[in-house]
Structure 1
Amino acid sequence: MLILSAGEIRQILSDREDAVLDAVRHAYVLHARGRTVLPHSVFLRFPDDVRNRIIGLPAYLGDDTPVAGMKWISSFPGNIDNGLARASAAILVNSMENGHPVALIEGSTISARRTAASAALAAGTLTTATGTGVSLVGCGVINFEVLRFLRAVLPELGEVTVFDLDAERAAAFARRCARWDLKVTSAGTIEEALGAHSLVCLATTAGVPHLGLAHCQPGALVLHLSLRDIFPADILAADNVVDDADHVCRAATSLHLAEQETGHRNFISTSIGEILAGAPWQHDPARVTVFSPFGLGVLDLAVAEMVRRSADQDGIGTRLPDFLTLPAEDPDAD
């Protein structure tokens, strides 16, 4: 069993945005071609606690060297007020040769970066009119990683407008962005942020819709990563691209609410995997396009397996040779 910590994950992934993008793109294409198994995520919630949850995402990726695994990720938004990360995660990777668990990997870094990579792929695929700026609504880990990956996909990106309900948090986020040669400004209102650029990324902790899209520029692309921000009526008025319609229309997402209102999913145009696999896509310059990725476990698995192979090659991580039980034929086995 290989065990990899957060620091080791960051070491392996340092300056490897292109490799993460390739892994996520490949997983999307395999999913579109039916070469994955992706059961519904399991939501573990708690009595008298509507904010916190832990989600299990099992997955199988049927590549040339197939792999299975599961991400177990918690979301405790109150952690932010205590100086802790909102999300924490672990990924277990299993061999398809014998079913043995082969790696236990810190998962929050992988989860954030695969989310950001999927957003950046959408930005580079769904429209050619993203301009030179992006508005980031929600100044947390996810949008910081989104900016990292957008810079890899959109090298012309030079302007960033940020908004957060916590002005100090937005200011701190802007200071973090100073490591890159970007013009960063803070919006006074969320409506100002929506209208500042033709590319918008929503990464908040909203539990219910709170936002319309009337202030977006015509033809804007909205990366709806937090899934519950946009009013169902605005979803219905937009061009909608998802990662998997069956997964995203669950758990009271904005698209799930839109489905409940209409009784159908006809408002969903296509999936990002189908487009990446070659299906035609025509961006409408007059309508807002909304990309709503539920966050597929195959993406975590693809990046985790890439990380595991790199760790094996470079001798990174802790190895426990006696993690598994003794063979059944061992006389000392129970």
Structure 2
Amino acid sequence: AGLKWIASYPANIQRGFPRASAVLVLNNYETGYPFAILESSIISAARTAASAALAAHWLNGQTLRARSLGIVGTGFIARYVYEFLVDTGWTIEEVRLHDRSPLESEKFRNTACRLEQHRTVTVVPDVAQLVRACDLILFTTVASTPHIADATLFEHNPLVLHISLRDLAPEILLRSQNVVDDVDHVMKANTSPHLAEQKTGNRSFVTGTLADIMLGRRSVNHSRPVIFSPFGMGILDLAVGKWVYDQAVASGQELRLSDFFYETVR
């Protein structure tokens, strides 16, 4: 049991420090007492990136190859997803980068990209140009409302990792194959899938969950775009956090506070 607490403040970027802070609290399942508090930004980023890389593998026909990867929003989460793709063996010929701040894209190119592993890595000023050119597209922005509405941009049927959940107009989803991590979770807070549900009054546009794809209960093909929209399962953060805690304890790197609780005997 536990608590995942992420405070996201996009204006932090203008203040010169990261957008979000994260804390994970792990609780004893029998007593409810917390036994660990962890800084969780990396835990959450790693979990997000792992789910994205897993989805990319299964939704790309279990192949690890992309002609051109496009990244929209070149921040902290994008860096982790990129690293997970490369470290799990993806061959990516070209990388195209776009961010509202071109300086952020340049920084990503120079500090995060492994230039030797790609034929080209370019910063693209126009997001529409990026979408048209890429067969694997990653959205990791801080958008609160859809900013891409032209469904014709996706006529080449790319695989879209829609991690930030609110970039695409519902009309784009309605013309695509949609895979999510959990149907009920993703249909809230005006995510793009939630807007599509509100527009149609149903959830029939959802092809299935990633688990459905992996277990063979559902399938996707390249006749239409494939969009993966994961809300992010907090229980997975807790599982990763517990693994990190166990590793810290096993290696003697945990910091124990014996007097954290005022009273432990009654």
Pairs within 5 Å for 1:56-205: 68-128=1-61, 130-179=65-114, 181=116, 182=118, 183-205=120-142
Amino acid at match of 2:11: G
**CA distance in structure 1 between the aligned counterparts of 2:146 and 2:95, rounded to whole angstroms:** 24
**CA distance in structure 2 between the aligned counterparts of 1:93 and 1:177, rounded to whole angstroms:** 31
**CA distance in structure 2 between the aligned counterparts of 1:253 and 1:155, rounded to whole angstroms:** 29
Q: Which residue of 2 aligns with 1:235?
A: 173
**CA distance in structure 2 between the aligned counterparts of 1:328 and 1:305, rounded to whole angstroms:** 26
**CA distance in structure 1 between the aligned counterparts of 2:225 and 2:257, rounded to whole angstroms:** 51
Contact 1:198 1:216 in 2 (8 A): no
> 239, 242, 247: which is aligned to 1:310?
247
Contact 2:151 2:171 in 1 (8 A): no
Give the gaps of 5 or more residues in structure 1. 1-67, 330-334
Describe the superposition over 1:1-50 as per-residue Cα deviations: whole angstroms up to 9, x where unpaired: xxxxxxxxxxxxxxxxxxxxxxxxxxxxxxxxxxxxxxxxxxxxxxxxxx
Give me the TM-score of the superposition, normalised by structure 2.
0.92
**CA distance in structure 2 between the aligned counterparts of 1:168 and 1:93, rounded to whole angstroms:** 38
**CA distance in structure 2 between the aligned counterparts of 1:196 and 1:177, rounded to whole angstroms:** 21
**CA distance in structure 2 between the aligned counterparts of 1:154 and 1:122, rounded to whole angstroms:** 14
Distance 1:326 1:115, change over 3 A: same
Q: Which residue of 1 aligns with 2:143?
A: 206
SS in structure 1 of the partner of residue 92 of structure 2: coil
Distance 1:264 1:111, change over 3 A: same
Q: Which residue of 2 aligns with 1:219?
A: 157
SS in structure 2 of the partner of residue 91 of structure 1: strand
Contact 1:194 1:213 in 2 (8 A): no
**CA distance in structure 1 between the aligned counterparts of 2:115 and 2:28, rounded to whole angstroms:** 39
Query: Displacement, 1:173?
Result: 1.1
Give the gaps of 5 or more residues in structure 2. none
Describe the superposition over 1:28-85 as per-residue Cα deviations: whole angstroms up to 9, x where unpaired: xxxxxxxxxxxxxxxxxxxxxxxxxxxxxxxxxxxxxxxx111111010000011110
**CA distance in structure 1 between the aligned counterparts of 2:254 and 2:115, rounded to whole angstroms:** 30
Bigger shift: residues 184-193 or 171-180: 171-180
Q: Which residue of 2 aligns with 1:280?
A: 217
Amino acid at match of 1:192: Q
CA RMSD of superposed structures (Å): 1.7
Query: Displacement, 1:178?
Result: 4.4
Q: Which residue of 1 aligns with 2:197?
A: 259
Q: Which residue of 1 aligns with 2:185?
A: 247
Give me the TM-score of the superposition, normalised by structure 1.
0.74
SS in structure 2 of the partner of residue 275 of structure 1: helix
**CA distance in structure 2 between the aligned counterparts of 1:312 and 1:139, rounded to whole angstroms:** 34
Describe the superposition over 1:277-316 as per-residue Cα deviations: whole angstroms up to 9, x where unpaired: x133432212001000011101211110110010011111
SS in structure 2 of the partner of residue 318 of structure 1: coil
Contact 1:218 1:286 in 2 (8 A): no
Contact 2:115 2:121 in 1 (8 A): no
Identity rate of aligned residues, in percent?
40
Bigger shift: residues 187-196 or 304-313: 187-196
Amino acid at match of 2:80: E
